[in-house]
Every structure is written in C-alpha cells, then in structure tokens.
Amino acid sequence: MERKLRCLIVDDEPYARQLLEEYVNKLPFLQLQGSCINAFEAMKVLQGQPVDLLLLDINMPEISGITLLRTLPKPPKVIFTTAFSDYAVEGFELDAVDYLLKPITFDRFLRAINKASTHLESMPLTDTSSSSKVSDQEHIFLREGSRFIKLNLNDILFIEGMKDYASIHTKQGKIVCLQRLKNLEEQLPSFDFIRIHNSYIISMQNVSAVYRHKVDIGDKTISVGETYRQRFLSYLRTHSISFE
C-alpha cells in the first residue's frame, strides 16, 4: 500500500484552515489527521495520534507556532505558514522543511509537500521524530492535468523548460506539467541533476557521452549554455572528468 503522509493543520484563521484542508484533500498521498485553531488543540492531537507533518501557522494568540514547535520533544517535520516574512530566518533555524507566505497558491503548496515527502519517505510510519539521517530522494510528485503522478527520479533523462511548463523526458515517454524549470530545479537533488542551459536540466546518471560543450542523453544531444558552462565543468571535475 502506498504510504500516506499524515498532516496536522494548525492555524487560528478559519479561511486559512479551510484552504489548507482543500489542498491536502486534493493530494491522494496526504492524510488529514486534524485541523486545529490553536497550539493547545494541536498538542492534544499530537499526544493522541501519530503525525508526520505539521502545517503550522506562526502568528497565533497565546502560543505561537514557533513556541509550540520548541515545546515538542520529538516534533514532526514542519511547513510554516504565515502572512509575515519576518519570521523566515527563525523558522529555518528550527529545521523547517519550508516556509509558505500567505496567500498560499496550490502550486507553491505542492512544491513544499514534495520537499516534505523526500524527507519522510524512508522513515517508519510509527516514527514521528526528526531524524538526522536524510534519505536519498527517490521520486517527485507532479501535476499532470487533473491528476498527480509519482515519478521515479531514476527514470528521468532530461527536463525541458517551456515558459510556465516543463516537459519531462523519461525512459518511458514524455510528461508535460504546469511548473517552471526553476521550481523543478529547486526540488531535484543537485548531486545528480544539473542545469546546463536556460531550457534544460539533465540527469547525469543517464548521460551516455560528455563533451566540453554538450552531452548525449537518450537519443538527444543537448548543448551546454554559456551561462552554465563553468558550473558544468566544475561539476565534471568533482567527478574526476576533466577536459583540461
């Protein structure tokens, strides 16, 4: 059975809770464990059932989201949600997966959930503690039309950007999703995926031949853009491939 990420929403604003509930319910790999209006309700839920991921508002009355997180001995992973950017640094110091500024769009929410999924996918379902061991990222979730697909990273050959869309070329075929290339670049592991052109990200493990200014991958040859050339050569040198 496909593992679901168990989410708890904590936000004192009714509209914000409703929006996040709608977003969670849209994704088949998420399971909503509860929706709380304050930190006190959240603590009761956390004591009574396992939670993988907190969608946590920061600016709440009496006990803030940051204070709540600091009181938890074994906190779940956290995505902070807030209308204020002032708390961003403090949020990331607490090892938050992501930090979402309201109003939150669905695409931005999905990017944050993808990050959380890669952190949690290898953790046992009964373990809601923060782990110092981060698993290798194995997949990513993408929206294709009205559905969400789970795509194994090993199957990706390269990704081509087309303004607001991206065309993911895989060993099985091509998938087009409504997502910018830069957003995908941020979600992919940099040790294997590298951007070599304004319009292309490639999977180095699926490259069949490497030249100074181009690569062969699948049945396509992709040129290395001038802006990305130095970074690409540096990547090759770190992997003991040099043209010097």
The residue written with tokens 């168990």 in the block is 6
Split into its structural domains, the chain has a count of 2
List the CATH number of the domain containing 34. 3.40.50.2300
| pTM reported for the whole predicted model | 0.56
> Which CB contacts under 8 angstroms, 24+ apart, belong to 90-95?
90/66, 91/58, 91/66, 94/66, 94/69, 94/70, 95/130
Q: Quick check: 9 and 34 in contact, CB under 8 A?
A: yes
| 116 lies in the same domain as 152 | no
What is the per-residue pLDDT for 124?
40
Same domain, 108 and 154: no
Lowest pLDDT segment from 61-75, 142-156, 164-178, 229-243: 229-243
- What is the pLDDT, as a whole number, of residue 220? 92
Specify if 135 maps to a domain: no
Is 138 a domain residue? no
pLDDT in tens, 33-74: 999 999 999 999 998 889 999 999 998 988 888 888 888 888
pLDDT at 132 over 50: no
* CATH number of the domain residue 200 falls in: 2.40.50.1020
Q: What is the DSSP string of 127-181?
A: --S--S-PPPP-EEEEEETTEEEEEEGGGEEEEEEETTEEEEEESS-EEEES--H
**What per-residue confidence (pLDDT) applies to 180?**
84
pLDDT at 244 over 70: no
222 within some domain: yes
Say if residue 78 is in the same domain as residue 182: no
Q: Say how far apart CA 168 and CA 176 lie, in whole Å.
A: 6
pLDDT tens by residue, 80-111: 998 876 655 455 566 788 889 999 999 899 98
pLDDT in tens, 190-222: 778 899 999 999 998 899 998 878 999 988 999
